[in-house]
Amino acid sequence: MKMKLRYSATSPFVRKVSIVLIETGLSDRVENVPTNPWDPKSDLPAQNPMGKVPTLISSQGIEIFDSSVICEFLDNLHSGPKMFPIDAESRITANQLQSLADGMMDAAVLGFIENSRRPEERRWDEWSDRQVAAITRSLNWLEERYQTLNQTSDIGTISVACALDYLDFRFADLDWRRHHEGLNEWLEQFAQRESIRATAPVES
């Protein structure tokens, strides 16, 4: 029985899982199930009480969430190069990058929801500015260290690529590339991977 991935094509967290599936050669073992987490009639909360995507249903029927947990689970199902490095120091570095990138994506998703789904008269500009400030600090941190980012696909570099591409997708006005040339150069090279090209976000 195939695993099932509850997904939305615009979610950067779903994309992270999709990239890991491609990189590990597990894509053919998963059935993608389009899911609108905003649909009040969705059965998603029965499988994930947070009502969020991605949610993975294993072949044994185990419900797995969130993206970082799903990715680690998948990494145990293949014999190729590991997405979570085995070496302790490398693993810490990859997980730290994943944590930072996940925070950036959280802030970006929250900012997008605030500005697209909340009525204009109820929007909180100070709160939105706080999300942008967190993203900007994270971009600056990554820019200072972009030379330590390699072209090897692991959970850290995959997560960073998803975060940066999501900013292009939803926050083009931020124009992060203009002020972070080293990071832009790194992404331009990393984005040549087939897994990155095949999972580019699209409006649903």
Q: Residue 119 above 70 pLDDT? A: no
Whole-angstrom distance, CA of residue 150 vs CA of residue 11: 24
Do the beta carbons of residue 50 and residue 39 sit within 8 Å? Answer: no
- CB contact set of 182 (below 8 Å; sequence gap of 6+): 143, 146, 147
Q: Which residues pair with 7 in a beta bridge?
A: 34
The pair of three-digit structure tokens given for residue 140, joined into one six-digit string: 């600056």
Tell me the fold of 88-197: Glutathione S-transferase Yfyf (Class Pi); Chain A, domain 2 (1.20.1050)
| Every domain of the chain and the residues it spans | 3-75, 88-197
**Residues contacting 140, CB < 8 A, separation 6+:** 180
User: Are 75 and 24 spatial neighbours (Cβ–Cβ below 8 Å)?
Assistant: yes
Q: Is the pLDDT of residue 122 over 70?
A: no
What are the tens digits of pLDDT across the range 62-116?
999 999 999 999 999 999 999 999 999 999 999 999 999 999 999 999 888 777 6
Span 41-64, pLDDT tens digits: 999 999 999 999 999 999 999 999
pLDDT attached to residue 123: 61
pLDDT in tens, 20-48: 999 999 999 999 999 999 999 999 999 99
Q: Per residue, what are the HEC states of 32-70? A: EEECCCCCCCCCHHHHCCCCCCCEEECCCCCEECCHHHH
Task: Give residue 12's Cα distance to chain centre.
Answer: 4
**For the residues 183-195, what does the mean pLDDT come to?**
97
Task: Pick the closest to residue 4 from 33, 27, 26, 25 (CA basis).
Answer: 33
Please give the Cα distance from 8 to 32 (Å, whole number): 9
Stated pTM of the model: 0.95
Question: Distances from the Cα of 157 to the Cαs of 17, 44, 51, 95, 111, in angstroms?
Answer: 13, 29, 27, 10, 23
List the structure tokens of 187: 């992404």
Q: What pLDDT digit, counting tens, does each position of 126-162 carry?
A: 878 899 999 999 999 999 999 999 999 999 999 999 9
Structure tokens at 63: 């419900």
Top-level class of domain 3-75: alpha beta
